[in-house]
Amino acid sequence: MVDFKAFDARGYRTVDVQTGYGQWSSTYDQTMVDAIDLDLLDALRTMSWPTIARAVDLGCGTGRTGAWLRERGVKSIDGVDTSPEMLAVARSADVYDRLIEADVASSGLAACQYDLVMTCLVDEHLPDLQPLYSEAWRLAAHGGSWVLLGYHPHFMMATGIPTHFDDAAGEPVAIEAHVHLMSEHITIGLRTGWTLVEMKERIIDDSWLQLKPQWTAYRGQPITFALGWRRQSEPTQPRTRP
Ligand SMILES: C[S@@+](CC[C@H](N)C(=O)[O-])C[C@H]1O[C@@H](n2cnc3c(N)ncnc32)[C@H](O)[C@@H]1O
């Protein structure tokens, strides 16, 4: 993990995750640009969404990802988040079968029950990735998949832009963030037993700049990434040199 403070170009007041999402929850859905993650989910080729019977959305927030999964034909979705305020919005969206107030690292849900685990735009808030990778592994059924979509470490370091929102007074406020290099993700994922089946990156391109023209200076930078992991049916051994 690399400390984001070393790259912070904005210097916004920074709050912890509970405080930040508690305050952002009322405007979150209006301020999120779907192109940051939903376009990338659409680009994944190894996930067969309509065949998924049971999914769990770790860090479900207000339910944007859950709603997207429902539209793709996923039949049953549970959501997990630590923020009661974000969960309240998700509850009103009515896309989840169950909503659990818990940490993504210890959801309390039963093991090996989910064909799909989803985690979108959460990992930059975690100081340590291993507990998330282990919990996703525990929840996934044998043969199941995990899609981990994150704010790109390259973008955080190159632009110094933290995850942030405008509070009720209009002040920009950053939410505590950590930089996890892609090598950290891959190393921990393989060590946990996951097989990497796909990786995609979302670049700031013309379609993005039509939505946010003020970001022209960032053209060509990858802003988000998606990793498609699979828990193979057969037990896998982490690869090590003989
Ligand atoms: C940027 S939002 C993403 C929400 C949703 N996945 C989406 O894409 O719209 C990040 C969410 O992760 C949640 N979160 C952050 N750290 C968490 C943790 N350790 N355990 C559970 N939820 C967490 C926050 O409360 C927030 O709702």
What pLDDT digit, counting tens, does each position of 114-147 carry?
A: 999 999 999 999 999 999 999 999 999 999 999 9
pLDDT, mean over the chain? 95
Residue 83 Cα: closest atom of ligand 1? 25
* Confidence (pLDDT) at 238: 52
Ligand 1 test: best mutation among 23, 89, 122, most atoms within 8 Å of CB? 122
**pTM: predicted TM-score of the whole model, two decimal places:** 0.95
How many A from CA of 61 to the centre of ligand 1?
5
Residue 64 Cα: closest atom of ligand 1? 9
Ligand 1 test: best mutation among 19, 82, 109, 224, most atoms within 8 Å of CB? 82
Q: Which residue has a Cα nearest atom 9 of ligand 1?
A: 64
How many A from CA of 241 to the centre of ligand 1?
37
Are 127 and 99 a contacting pair, CB within 8 Å? no
Higher pLDDT, 164 or 238: 164
Summarised one tens digit per residue, pLDDT across range 28-75 is: 999 998 989 999 999 999 999 999 999 999 999 999 999 999 999 999
CA distance 213 to 231: 40
What's the distance, Cα to Cα, between the start and end of the chain in Å?
Answer: 28
Please give the helix or strand (H or E) that residue 119 lies within, else none. strand 114-120
Sign of the CA dihedral with 15 first, then 18, 22, and 25 last = positive
**Token pair of 39, please?**
């376009």
Residue 57 Cα: closest atom of ligand 1? 6
Please give the helix or strand (H or E) that residue 155 lies within, else none. helix 153-159
How many A from CA of 63 to the centre of ligand 1?
10
CB 61 near ligand 1, within 6 Å: yes
How many A from CA of 198 to the centre of ligand 1?
23
